[in-house]
Structure 1
Amino acid sequence: MPTTTDDQPDAPSTSPRRRALLITLVSISGAVLVLDQLSKAWALASLVEGERRELVGNLLGLQLVFNSGAALSIATGMTWVLTIVATVVVVIVVRASRRIGSRAWAVALGLLLGGALGNLVDRLVRDPGFAQGEVVDFIAYADWFVGNVADIAIVVAAVLVVILAALGIHIDGTRDSRETLDADADADDETATTTSTTEQNA
């Protein structure tokens, strides 16, 4: 598959550029982790569980919640499973970072790693016990759900990953050429047309 190298990836993992990208990834993940834990410490010290403080009408507020499940309180009571999932995410990001060659991917993976670590720390050290701890949430979005800084980082990372994938930018910095993207689009159109014709004939 033809590729271009907009980000000029370097082959050696110890190259100055790759070291700089790894530093970017680690710095972003560290900043997210610190900000997440400091904001949770503030929430624990300043907010009362269940009481809501309005910030922007009913659209945004502060409300302390202890979440044993995932986002939107999904999988409540499955904290062990979620702890394992978070650990796997961290391991995957660390392993993927060995091939990092794109600044945009370094930012995305840094946000994802920091967010995963932020909530993983809660599950490991908070009550009711190791690997079963409840995540501290305090940012209330209307009446939809309550989240935290780590959740924001994870969502932004997910959006960046989707954009990078759509643009054909790979983690190593290579990029699908315009000809390849056009060929894939034409193939999809041809497949859709063939399917439609087949259905009509049937």
Structure 2
Amino acid sequence: MLIDQGTKALALAQLSEHERIPLLGDCLGLQLAFNPGTVMSLGSDSCGEAQSATSSTDCAPGFGRGHVTDFLAYGNLFNGNLSEVILGAGAALGILLCLRGHTPHSNH
């Protein structure tokens, strides 16, 4: 959570909503964005439950109803932040483990 909040604070201090810094050409860059939706700018009409409580307090209009600070621009598709990358990697790993037939060891 500290890394997530730290990267968002750094993005607020160093990035602009109007200028993108390319990292991988047009595919990936750094650009400040404020997202009222959930993960990867989806569901922008509401603050969904998948959104963390700390993310929704980042910006106006107020506690638990705020906009998420995003700074990773994926082409012209959507914007995200580091916590979403970590959630996505965890979900992908979980799916991969399920597909490989891995089950948690039980104590029985």
TM band (smaller chain): 0.7 to 0.9
State which of 75, 78, 86 in structure 2 corresponds to 1:142: 75
RMSD across aligned positions (CA): 1.8
Q: Distance in 1 between matches of 2:85 and 2:40?
A: 13
Return 5+ residue gaps in structure 1 as ranges. Answer: 1-32, 87-115, 175-202
Indicate which of 10, 16, 24 corresponds to 1:56: 24
Taking CA–CA contacts closer than 8 Å with sequence separation of 6 or more, which of the two structures ends up with the larger relative contact order? 1
1:152 aligned to which of 52, 65, 85: 85
TM-score normalised per structure 1: 0.48
Equivalent of residue 123 in structure 1, options 27, 50, 56: 56
Scaled by the length of structure 2, the TM-score of the pair is: 0.85
1:36 is aligned to 2:11:
no
Hey, which of these two has a bigger chunk of strand by percent?
2
Equivalent residue for 1:167, pick from 94, 97, 100: 100
Higher helix share: 1
Q: How many residues align?
A: 106
Quote the Cα distance in structure 2 between the aligned partners of 1:76 and 1:45.
24
Deviations 1:49-91 (A, max 9, x none): 2321112221211110000012343221311xx1xx23xxxxx
Query: Which consecutive segments of 4 or more residues in structure 1 shift more than 3 A?
Result: none
Aligned pair partner of 2:14 in 31, 43, 46: 46
The DSSP-based 3-state class of the residue aligned with 1:69 is coil
Aligned in 2, Cα 1:45/1:125: closer, same or farther, shift over 3 Å?
closer
Task: In structure 2, give the amino acid aligned to 1:41.
Answer: A
Identify unmatched segments of 5+ residues in structure 2: none
* SS of alignment partner, residue 66 of structure 1: strand
**Structure-2 change in CA distance of 1:148 and 1:125 (3 Å):** closer
